[in-house]
Amino acid sequence: MNPKSFSFKLHSVDPSGARRGTMQTPHGKIETPIFMPVGTAAAMKALTVQQLKDTKTQIVLSNAYHLNNQPGADMVEKFGGLHKFMGWDGPMLTDSGGYQVFSLPGKVIDDDGVTFKYAKGGKSTRLSPEISIDIQNRLGADIIMAFDECVEFPATYEYTKRSLKVTSEWARRCKAAHKREDQALFGISQGGLYKDLREEGLKPLIDLDLPGYAVGGLSVGEGLDNMKMALDFTTHMMPVNKPRYLMGIGTPEDILEAVERGIDMMDCVMPTKYARSATLFTNVGKLRLTNREFRNDKFQLDTGCSCYTCENFTRAYLHHLYTSNEILGAILGSIHNVSFYIELMTRSRKAIEEKRFSSFKQDFLALYNRKVKSKKPKKKR
């Protein structure tokens, strides 16, 4: 079932391979490439919807695995769906729970699905393609994901090959089970770091003619070079006129490398998670705000950033908040980190439009990595 109200238009491709497009969803337009902040349990950690809107976030990600456990998909459905429940009226995407379930110890996999106990609360549960899609239909996000087997890293060629059959059969069943024309079901490519398996896995997914495709099974510990290698051969096999989503990525470096390889969408808990532990992203690299060097620092966190945090507070104040364990530290840090990621994508889109993405990436990374490099000599003294 192809959704009525979902479309993707590819505007241009930069010489590097980076793509500039627009997605249309029932809850609004998304300019790509885009980073999607993660609000796992129908809540962005430490941010209100208003604050999230102020960061210019276009689309929010949530998770079927967590929401089915608490408060339950039925409950969310009764409240008019995820958008109404959490008060976010923009585009939304839910993950299928595949990644979460396959990360659990003690899961039992059969051809039909997976039986497992929830890490939180211990409730015994079953997920299958049909159940995951039913949950996601009830949650009502604009984009929903196929229930796949996310293969761990490292995995043997043989295991990865066998698992592809499960993933493609499950993708077929997901499409068959999907009931809502206002939701776009994306397929997920697996195949690990094996080029021929990525090709073998993508073929049946492409045959399903889904409205978008994700690259799964990366960001599982394989490292940046392996990720780049896998993307180098995988994105070329993906349909040109459909959005490409790299799941669970990542650092600012990861994101720029992925965009250069033709990825349109990414998500990660990193900006909010790091913000809660006082690590904040800036154009001159990551700063750990609890460090004593910031105690007297009168500068704004990130020169040139115009987020609420940077416009109103000094690094010294943020240092004070983090070292005093004030919740406000996590709030102001999350506002900045999410804004930083969103702004990175805004700048990326502009660079693609102006056909200068590679030089933008190089310039960004030169500045971003400078601080780390300049610190090394100090340690040797």
Q: Which residues are annotated as a binding site for Zn(2+)?
A: 305, 307, 310, 336
Candidates 14, 95, 142, 302; catalytic one? 95
Q: In 3D, which of 371, 350, 365 has the Cα closest to residue 256? A: 365
Name the active-site residue from 142, 264, 267, 302: 267
Q: How far apart are CA 255 and CA 315, in angstroms?
A: 26
Q: Which of residues 269-308 bind its own copies (CB under 8 A)?
A: 276, 295-296, 298, 308
Closer residue to its own copies in complex, CB, 202/335: 335
| Angle formed at CA 286 by CA 280 and CA 287, multiple of 5 degrees | 65
Q: What is the DSSP string of 30-74?
A: EEESEEEEB-TTSS-TT--HHHHHHTT---EEEEHHHHHHTT-HH
The question of whether 267 is a catalytic residue gets the answer yes
Assigned token pair, 70: 């608490």
Among 327, 366, 367, 372, binds its own copies (CB under 8 A): 327
Closest CA to 242 of 187, 204, 191: 187
Closest approach of Cβ 29 to its own copies, in Å? 23
Residues 209-248 that bind its own copies (CB under 8 A): none
Indicate which single residue of 1, 206, 284, 316 sits in contact with its own copies (rule: CB under 8 A).
316
The answer to whether the bond into 271 is cis (omega within 30° of 0) is no
Q: Which is nearer to its own copies, 321 or 338 (CB)?
A: 321
Say how many C-beta atoms besides its own lie within 10 A of residue 366's C-beta: 10
Distance in Å, CB of 322 to its own copies, minimum = 11
Contact 170, 211 (CB under 8 A): no
How far apart are CB 145 and its own copies at their closest, in Å? 21
In angstroms, what is the minimal distance from the CB of 69 to its own copies? 9
Rounded to a whole number of angstroms, the minimum distance from the CB of residue 280 to its own copies is 16
Q: How far apart are CA 174 and CA 310, in angstroms?
A: 44
Q: Which is closer to its own copies, CB of 279 or CB of 348?
A: 279
Query: Helix, strand, coil shares of the chain as percentages rounded to 5?
Result: 45, 20, 35
Task: Give the binding range for its own copies (CB under 8 A) out of 4-12, 153-161, 239-247, 324-332.
Answer: 324-332
Q: Which stretch binds its own copies (CB under 8 A): 55-63, 99-107, 258-266, 318-326?
A: 318-326
CA distances to 42, 178, 206, 210 from 2, rounded to whole Å, are: 26, 10, 13, 7
Residues 42-101 touching its own copies, rule: CB under 8 A, are 42-51, 70-71, 75, 78-79, 85-87
**Contacts with its own copies in 121-140 (CB under 8 A)?**
none
CA distances 115 to 111, 125, 148, 287, Å, are: 11, 6, 14, 42
Nearer to its own copies, 36 or 220 (CB): 36
Is 10 or 41 the residue whose CB approaches its own copies more closely? Answer: 41
Shortest CB 39 distance to its own copies, Å: 9
Across the beta sheet with 124-127, what order do the strands follow? 108-109, 114-117, 124-127
Q: Which is nearer to its own copies, 225 or 311 (CB)?
A: 311
Residue 343 DSSP SS3: helix
297 belongs to the catalytic site: no
- Residue 282 corresponds to which tokens in the numbers above? 């800036």
Task: Return the residue of 323, 346, 355, 358 that touches its own copies, per CB under 8 A.
Answer: 323
At 148, the amino acid letter reads: D
So which residues are the catalytic ones?
A: 95, 267
Judged by the rule CB under 8 A, the positions of this chain that interact with its own copies are: 41-51, 70-71, 75, 78-79, 85-87, 276, 295-296, 298, 308, 312-314, 316-317, 319-321, 323-324, 326-328, 330-332
